Amino acid sequence: MRLFGLVTILVAVAAASCGGDGAKLSKQEYEQRLQALPRLFADPECEVPDGVSLLRAREAEHREIVAALDALEPPGEVADAHGKLVSAHRKLADSIDGTIESVRELPDPGEAPSREEQADRLGAQYALAARERPGVPELAEAQRELGDRGYTAEAVPFDPERYTERANELLAPVTPITLRDVGTVGELQTEAEEVGTALVDAAQQLAELVPPRPVAEAHEHLVLGLCTRGQELVSFARFRTLDPDEPADVASARMIIATLDPFFEEAAGDYRDRGYDVAVPEVEAGG
């Protein structure tokens, strides 16, 4: 699964910032570099439902952000804030190993006796990951200092045309949402892993877009719709207390993902009401 897509950004940032003379970036150039890095000040909005996997993905993102920031030469007036950004993300990355050890001490969701117990165990992993996150006051301090000096570090909203184009590009590979006809539970779990991972990946990429203000709520519902369905499918795929040779009930699995919280319906209505031609995925419940 794609972690968070920062490798390309990292290369671009490094190339753009290495002019050979070590000159500091201008205010505008520095802002643009920061705005190209997603989640400088926030956690991911959608993660794979597995404690160790999600923490490793977070660690990779923090380290890539550190590398990208290290490649920049900020204007002198924000050098201190820049250093705090680097320090904060390095601390967050360094804390991951300890949190992973704590997560591994919890009961394994894949070995739960029921889907309800699996959900409870996954919830406990998420709660522990959030609770074990170290306090990093430098992050808030850096954000405040940048703002005080007139710097906009957060990504700016897309214009409507570009937003619609990019959203549809990301949605096209995952619609319609369905599961292939397969014969056994093991084959169904393999299919669920593939489809669910693609949905979580799409949700992550969409979450990196900053939508125009009129469709901010529709965008949030779209991301939630993809994320909840993707997480449900991946959780099912990693539920090991099923007999893989049993006949698969594909129809029931399709119905479950079709009847999850109606985020897609709400998103589609909001986009339509505001004149945005975003192709919200359809979910196939039938055979």
Phi, psi of 30 (to 5 degrees): -65, -45
How many Cα atoms within 13 Å fall on the side-chain side of residue 138? 16
pTM of the shown model:
0.86
Quick one: 133 and 214 in the same domain? no
Is the residue at 49 inside a domain? yes
Does one domain contain both 112 and 32? yes
For residues 49 and 28, membership in a common domain is answered with: yes
Residue 287 in any domain: the answer is: no
Do both 167 and 141 map to the same domain? Answer: no
Q: Where is the domain boundary, 148, 176, 211?
A: 148
Q: Are residues 19 and 135 in the same domain?
A: yes
Assess if residue 68 is contained within a domain.
yes
Per-residue pLDDT of 238-255, as tens digits, reads 999 999 999 999 999 999
Question: C-alpha dihedral over 124, 127, 129, 134, to 10 degrees?
Answer: -150
Q: Where are the beta strands (DSSP E) in 84-142?
A: none
Q: Could you tell me if 169 and 137 lie in one domain?
A: no
| Residue 287 confidence (pLDDT) | 54
**Does one domain contain both 85 and 215?**
no
In a domain, 26, yes or no: yes
Contact 66, 7 (CB under 8 A): no
CB count within 10 Å of CB 161 equals 10
Residue for token pair 């079709």: 258
Tell me the average pLDDT across 30-39: 93
CA distance 96 to 188: 33
Residue 39 carries which side chain, given as an amino acid letter?
A: R
Question: What is the span of the domain harbouring residue 118?
Answer: 6-148
- With b for 16 or more beta-carbon neighbours within 10 A and e for fewer, the 178-204 pattern comes to bbeebeebebbbebbbebbbbbbbbbb
CA distance 42 to 28: 22
How far is the C-alpha of 190 from the C-alpha of 206, rounded, in Å? 25
In a domain, 104, yes or no: yes
174 and 102 inside one domain: no
Rounded to the nearest integer, the mean pLDDT of the chain is: 91
Among 148, 179, 213, where does a domain finish?
A: 148
Q: How far apart are the first and last CA of the chain?
A: 28
On whether both 97 and 199 belong to a single domain, the answer is no
Q: For the chain, how many structural domains are there in total?
A: 2
Residues 20 and 75 occupy one common structural domain: yes
Percent of the chain with pLDDT over 90: 84
Looking at residue 132, its pLDDT comes to 84
pLDDT confidence tier of residue 286, bands split at 50, 70 and 90: low
pLDDT digits (tens, 9 = 90+) for 165-220: 999 999 999 999 999 999 999 999 999 999 999 999 999 999 999 999 999 999 99
If asked whether residues 11 and 131 sit together in one domain, one would say yes
Based on the fold, state whether residues 210 and 144 are members of the same structural domain.
no
Whether residue 92 has pLDDT greater than 70: yes
